[in-house]
Chains A and B, each alone.
Chain A
């Protein structure tokens, strides 16, 4: 088991390295750098001005060197101008003494995530605040999604083919067929617009960043939860119907155990192993939903940051965002594998 986790962690680090290198390569293509220079400087810069701006800010070094600097395995660049010294490890222009005092290496290995050109702030600070906001959203999504999906799945699966099963299955198919940007738009139209006039909830969740309450936070949570819910419910239903046809359920039934007890005591625990994996593997999907919903409801969390960083070619912020999302994706895969082994005695013992 220890070796298994070790190997998976190795693969995870290798994947993260490859992935960040791809992001690094794509964001450092010259047209992207040109756009960055123009948004940072001004839009009417001549080609020479762009080149000199990029040179002054260390963007024109060879790609592997820049990647090494970002990682923290190569010394950061410095550039001397008339006003002072600029460099990777310095913020703004500094004097010679300050430059000498600054550390030589400053990459993510040293805990320095760099500087965001859009928000003009430290990347690590931005990422942690935004992740906190998204964490709040995700927490409520899980609180709403997991229990309701499991209940729908178990209710549908305990009597296969019954009217209850048919209607719940239709419901779950409809939710899987509704992407967030469709359900979100419909919810806003029905519950928040002045055209219909219900106005039960608010159409934006900006105020939920400070104080979340039912009125401003329920719609975004519901929008993300619904899309993921149908899939989990269908998996639960499939696993439940399989368990309900097993031999030991028939034995229990022949012994005269009540249907209620069969479901609660014999079937439920075995039926919930498969959905566990599915729930864990839903996390990467939820990440996608988060980006859409945060854009739609203007909730300035992690997904919103991704859109801002990508839209403005904010290289270091974008790299940090991709590192975080890769870790989320791969860590959930690892947890789901370990959890599956742990929950399923047949695999655990052999």
Chain B
């Protein structure tokens, strides 16, 4: 394991642990302004959007392969399919398209 990678992982652990720990040992976010608390709760959605696009379009040999895979995932997720089924189906759709086209 490279030293850079090791220390990066340790630092990732530290910066993840600190926000989880602080409110339980010292902070009191109750007194934070409501806008700050609202913004924090919305971070995951904005992150998810930013993580999906434009990244997904670089997957596979053709943009439309990724669109088909992503579309299949969205459809299955909408109907409440378990995570592994959604992920597996997207992999399957992309795999079939790579082989056929």
Q: Do A and B come from one complex?
A: no
List the interface of chain B (C-beta within 8 A of A).
Answer: none
